[in-house]
């Protein structure tokens, strides 16, 4: 005998309303502003008339980049001054070939051939050693930077995949409810498309940022590498020139190494900026781990961890908890005892993964053996469904006690609840920012220290080689002037005769 089947909760749309609110809040938060609780910087901003940039770490703000790059101004300024001095020295050298004053200076330098020789030799060795250290530090900083970049891109991609799982779940729920709740289904459809668009935006931003970072990292590495290789070549080549006293070689060495020294001072400024940026980045990561609420990193790493989100997450769990409690009360009622008899199953209830008085705690996989999951409930309903067009009395005799129309609606809602439960861990990960905070906490603990140290060592090494090269070039200028109009034997330190006028 066919019986009425009061299985569907009285308010079937309620489990979905909190989901709509949570999903909307998640993706509206990805374009939020910046927290006033973060470290704020006060630095001159060249793009704003050298007025102070007062703001937070923000890689999407050109004024942040300009102010950060300006921190290396000492290197840029020395490079400009070095170029001006080089031009001035070249003009003086070209215009003044003689004169009593210059001759007196040259005569004075005749007493210091040996000290000048050893001074050049010492600073050649020092410059070579510092250049080799720069090459090693450059390679180390490349490795640490790529490792850090890979971690950030990985967490962004993982977040994107999590969002895609949520979008797929939303689409499934929307399809299930379309025949029974068209208004709710339409809202879900609109939200799903909004989420998909935001997900694609994140994906495109990650791809674009990853490409830009690759270009910046590779460019910095290659510039350092080329300057280092050329410098090593000329430093090594300067040693035989020094012993052979080949004057054209002196001029070529001075000119080339003057240009290389200019490049070194520019790179010293750039490396100090990179060190500053590394410090800012790690401070931002630490701030994000401590308090991700509207952090400046939210523009590139989507995350929502707000009291409102946690309340909505608890509401989702509470609503599903109430939904399953409603099912369990109906299963234990006399109206549905015949269902258990027809299915030959001793069922005490449907497994509720949410515990607590209001279902605020999600504990998956904690069901008693005599409880079934929502998915198993769906399968049980299918096994007890009378096929459409079949004789109802015949179905009842065969244990098919649920009408097709009632069964399909009940299955739609139970299946929606099942999908919601399955996607809840991903939703919880997004709302509580588990993936992002966990990854960035590991970065702060394990990667930030080596990353900052590699940048600091690169800057110190570059500063040392810049100083050594400056003294080296000035020594070569002095040595070139000292040997002007003098004759030397090969590998001799002292001149053997003075050129006759």
Res. 10 pLDDT band, cuts 50 70 90: very low
Q: Which two tokens stand for residue 161?
A: 């995949």
Cβ atoms within 10 Å of 27's Cβ, excluding its own:
20
Query: Does 123 score more than 80 pLDDT?
Result: yes
Q: Is the pLDDT of residue 18 over 60?
A: no
Question: According to the model, what pLDDT value does residue 498 have?
Answer: 47
pLDDT grade for 149, boundaries at 50, 70 and 90: confident
pLDDT at 106 over 70: no
* pLDDT-above-70 percentage for the chain: 70
Q: Is the pLDDT of residue 467 over 90?
A: yes
256 has pLDDT over 70: yes
Q: What is the mean pLDDT of residues 464-470?
A: 95
pLDDT of 166 reads 80
Least confident of 6-15, 106-115, 167-176, 436-445: 6-15
pLDDT at 236: 92
Exposure string over 248-278, b if 16+ CB within 10 A, otherwise e: ebbeebbebbbbbbbbbbbbbbbbbbbbbbb
* Cα 218 from Cα 448, distance rounded (Å): 20
Percent of the chain with pLDDT over 90: 22
Say how far apart CA 131 and CA 143 lie, in whole Å: 19
What is the band of 7 on the pLDDT scale with cuts at 50, 70, 90?
very low
CA dihedral for 55, 59, 61, 66, sign (positive or negative):
positive
Q: pLDDT (tens digit, 9 = 90+) per residue, 302-344? A: 555 455 556 656 666 676 777 777 767 766 554 455 555 555 5
Give CA separation, 368 vs 173, 281, 350, 356, 360, in Å.
27, 48, 10, 16, 20
Q: How sure is the predictor about 390, in pLDDT bands with cuts at 50, 70 and 90?
A: confident
Q: Can you give the residue ranges of every domain in the chain?
A: 14-23+316-430, 112-294+439-495
Q: Are 127 and 469 in contact (CB under 8 A)?
A: yes
pTM strictly above 0.75: no
Neighbours of 292 (CB within 10 A): 22
């Amino acid at each position: 005998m066919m019986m009425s089947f009061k299985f569907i909760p009285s308010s079937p749309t309620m489990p979905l309303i909190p989901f709509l609110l949570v999903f909307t809040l998640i993706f509206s938060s990805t374009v939020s502003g910046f927290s006033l609780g973060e470290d704020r910087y006060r630095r001159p901003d060249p793009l704003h008339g050298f007025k102070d940039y007062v703001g937070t770490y923000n890689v999407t703000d050109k004024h942040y980049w300009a102010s950060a790059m300006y921190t290396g101004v000492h290197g840029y300024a020395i490079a400009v001054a070095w170029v001006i001095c080089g031009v001035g020295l070249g003009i003086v050298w070209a215009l003044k070939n003689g004169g009593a004053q210059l001759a007196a200076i040259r005569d004075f330098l005749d007493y210091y051939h040996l000290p000048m020789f050893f001074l050049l030799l010492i600073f050649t060795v020092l410059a070579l050693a510092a250049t080799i250290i720069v090459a090693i530090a450059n390679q180390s900083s490349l490795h640490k930077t790529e490792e850090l970049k890979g971690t950030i891109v990985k967490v962004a991609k993982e977040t994107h995949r999590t969002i895609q799982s949520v979008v797929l779940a939303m689409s499934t729920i929307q399809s299930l409810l379309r025949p029974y709740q068209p208004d709710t289904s339409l809202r879900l459809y609109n939200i799903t498309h909004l989420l998909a668009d935001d997900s694609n935006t994140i994906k495109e931003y990650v791809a674009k940022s990853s490409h830009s970072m690759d270009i910046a990292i590779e460019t910095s590495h290659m510039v350092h590498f080329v300057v280092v290789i050329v410098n090593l070549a000329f430093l090594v080549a300067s040693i035989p020139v020094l012993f052979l006293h080949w004057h054209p070689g002196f001029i070529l060495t001075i000119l080339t190494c003057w240009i290389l020294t200019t490049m070194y001072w520019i790179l010293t400024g750039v490396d100090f900026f990179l060190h500053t940026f590394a410090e800012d980045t790690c401070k931002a990561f630490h701030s994000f781990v401590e308090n991700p609420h509207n952090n400046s990193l939210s523009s590139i790493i989507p995350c929502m961890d707000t009291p409102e989100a946690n309340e909505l997450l608890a509401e989702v769990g509470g609503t599903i908890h109430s939904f399953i409690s409603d099912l369990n009360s109906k299963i234990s009622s006399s109206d549905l005892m015949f269902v258990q008899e027809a299915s030959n199953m001793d069922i005490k209830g449907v497994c509720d993964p949410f515990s607590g008085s209001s279902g605020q705690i999600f504990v998956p996989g904690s069901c008693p053996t005599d409880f079934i999951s929502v998915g198993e409930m769906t399968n049980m309903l299918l096994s007890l469904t009378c096929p459409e067009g079949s004789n109802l009395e015949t179905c009842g005799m065969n244990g098919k006690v649920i009408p097709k129309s009632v069964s399909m609606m009940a299955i739609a809602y139970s299946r929606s609840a099942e999908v919601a439960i399955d996607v809840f861990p991903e939703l919880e990960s997004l709302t509580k920012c588990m993936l992002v905070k966990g990854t960035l906490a590991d970065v702060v603990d394990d990667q930030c220290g080596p990353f900052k140290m590699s940048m600091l060592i690169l800057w110190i090494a570059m500063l040392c080689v810049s100083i050594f090269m400056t003294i080296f070039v000035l020594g070569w200028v002095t040595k070139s002037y000292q040997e002007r109009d003098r004759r030397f034997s090969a590998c001799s330190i002292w001149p053997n005769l003075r050129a006759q006028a």
